[in-house]
């Protein structure tokens, strides 16, 4: 603690802090105010600087007040500083408790004319990464804007002409780590999840696509919802499979066994280009195989064919490994009676450790084969 304090003292003394506070007011000279916010933005660009700022909530409160400054340059500096600060999970509680950033951020997010909403969506997404802070973010959201409105904004691409709002995708994904957020999203009378499904193929932004796929994956952790997710009312399966499907020609019999949206795809059909998203899609399908109903549905819908062709095409080791795990379940024997729900099966600690070790060895082997990932 002493070393951190002395480091903070070196980076920003108490005298400098007081001087900066006098510049961080709406009435300060614009040039001086701009220099002060620019300095703090630079300071937030590394971990040590973020720690220093996190130890000075009064400075952060003054900086947050300037997010509404008349000068766009000053306001933008302030928002970018909070983007940097929110990326450090150690500062999350300071931001949501001491500075109390959430109510105003949500208020501005729903303003269709607010020009810095992209920065706001990034800050909110960052703050929702860790479960403890995520709970606070979700509570403030529900007390004000509400999840249905957030989904509406996300799905309306023209909602804000000055912001793309792609990072609302990761925000939704982070929020759905919470059971209460998943419950709201899967409410059958609201049909919120169905509105997100088309974005698994949204070409303009991998961030938006990945956020939606992450949201769907989180929802599939609730095994009691598998029948709902695979029902005609939601019909999640085609939206998970289409990004994984390619232009390969299948026999007439194979095509007829697939969901209608997957049949007779064109010769120029392209797969999801991001390997991380492909892996998440496969993980989502694997989660659906945790229940007997899910396994039967995926087998009946010939999901194996799509995964088989993907595996032939796939170059990424980890995605290939995810394909193989899914195939093993799809073509394997059914678990014995009483163990049909794989999410409820208790794995002995020694077996779990062996499985984790095997997974780690797979990753290390992949890194060796790709040159270790070094630059």
The Cα–Cα gap between 64 and 166 comes to: 23
Which part of the chain has CATH 1.25.10.10? 100-221
Q: Count of CB atoms within 10 A of residue 118's CB?
A: 19
CB 238 within 8 A of CB 231: no
Largest Cα separation within the chain, whole Å, is 78
Distance CA 233, CA 215 (A): 18
Task: Retrieve residue 373's tokens.
Answer: 């990932």
Residue pair 109/120 in contact (Cβ under 8 Å)? The answer is yes
Q: DSSP secondary-structure letter at 279?
A: H
Query: What are the Cα distances from residue 288, in Å, to 17, 92, 223, 360?
Result: 54, 33, 8, 24
Which CATH code, of 3.30.450.20, 1.10.630.10, 3.90.740.10, 1.25.10.10, is assigned to 100-221? 1.25.10.10
* pTM for the full predicted model: 0.87
Q: What pLDDT tens digit does each residue of the chain (375 aa) get?
A: 334 434 444 567 888 889 999 999 999 999 999 999 999 999 999 999 999 999 999 999 999 999 999 999 999 999 999 999 999 999 999 999 999 999 999 999 999 999 999 999 999 999 999 999 999 999 999 999 999 999 999 999 999 999 999 999 999 999 999 999 999 999 988 899 999 999 999 999 999 999 999 999 999 999 999 999 999 999 999 999 999 999 999 999 999 999 999 999 999 999 999 999 999 999 999 999 999 999 999 999 999 999 999 999 999 999 999 999 999 999 987 765 544 455 554 435 564 465 456 556 655 555 555 444 443
Dist. CA 341–CA 355, nearest whole Å: 19
3-state secondary structure of 351: helix
Find all residues with CB under 8 Å of 323, minimum gap 6, and list them: 282, 307, 310, 311, 314
* Distance in angstroms (rounded) separating the CA atoms of residues 169 and 196: 9
């Amino acid at each position: 603690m002493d070393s951190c304090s002395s480091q903070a003292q070196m980076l920003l003394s108490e005298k400098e802090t007081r001087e900066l506070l006098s510049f961080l007011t709406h009435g300060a000279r614009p040039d001086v105010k701009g220099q002060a916010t620019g300095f703090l933005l630079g300071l937030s660009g590394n971990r040590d600087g973020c720690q220093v700022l996190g130890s000075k909530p009064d400075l952060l409160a003054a900086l947050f007040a300037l997010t509404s400054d008349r000068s766009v340059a000053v306001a933008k500096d302030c928002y970018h500083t909070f983007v940097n600060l929110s990326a450090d999970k150690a500062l999350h509680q300071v931001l949501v408790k001491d500075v109390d950033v959430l109510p105003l951020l949500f208020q501005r997010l729903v303003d269709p004319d607010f020009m810095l909403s992209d920065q706001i969506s990034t800050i909110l997404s960052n703050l929702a990464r860790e479960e403890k802070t995520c709970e606070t973010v979700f509570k403030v959201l529900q007390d004000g804007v509400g999840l249905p409105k957030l989904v509406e904004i996300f799905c309306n691409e023209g909602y804000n002409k000055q912001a793309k709002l792609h990072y609302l995708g990761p925000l939704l994904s982070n929020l759905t780590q919470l059971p209460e957020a998943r419950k709201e999203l899967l409410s059958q009378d609201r049909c919120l999840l169905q509105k997100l499904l088309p974005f698994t193929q949204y070409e303009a932004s991998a961030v938006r696509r990945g956020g939606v796929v992450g949201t769907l994956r989180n929802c599939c952790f609730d095994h009691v919802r598998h029948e709902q997710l695979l029902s005609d009312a939601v019909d999640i399966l085609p939206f998970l499979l289409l990004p994984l499907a390619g232009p390969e020609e299948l026999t007439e019999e194979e095509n007829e066994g697939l969901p209608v949206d997957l049949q007779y795809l064109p010769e120029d059909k392209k797969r999801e280009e991001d390997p991380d998203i492909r892996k998440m899609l496969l993980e989502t399908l694997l989660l659906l195989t945790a229940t007997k109903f899910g396994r039967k549905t995926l087998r009946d819908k010939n999901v194996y064919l799509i995964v088989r062709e993907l595996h032939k095409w796939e170059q990424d080791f980890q995605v290939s490994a995810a394909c193989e795990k899914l195939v093993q379940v799809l073509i394997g024997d059914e678990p014995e009676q009483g163990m049909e729900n794989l999410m409820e099966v208790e794995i002995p600690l020694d077996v779990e450790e062996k499985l984790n070790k095997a997974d780690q060895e797979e990753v290390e082997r992949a890194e060796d084969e790709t040159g270790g990932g070094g630059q």
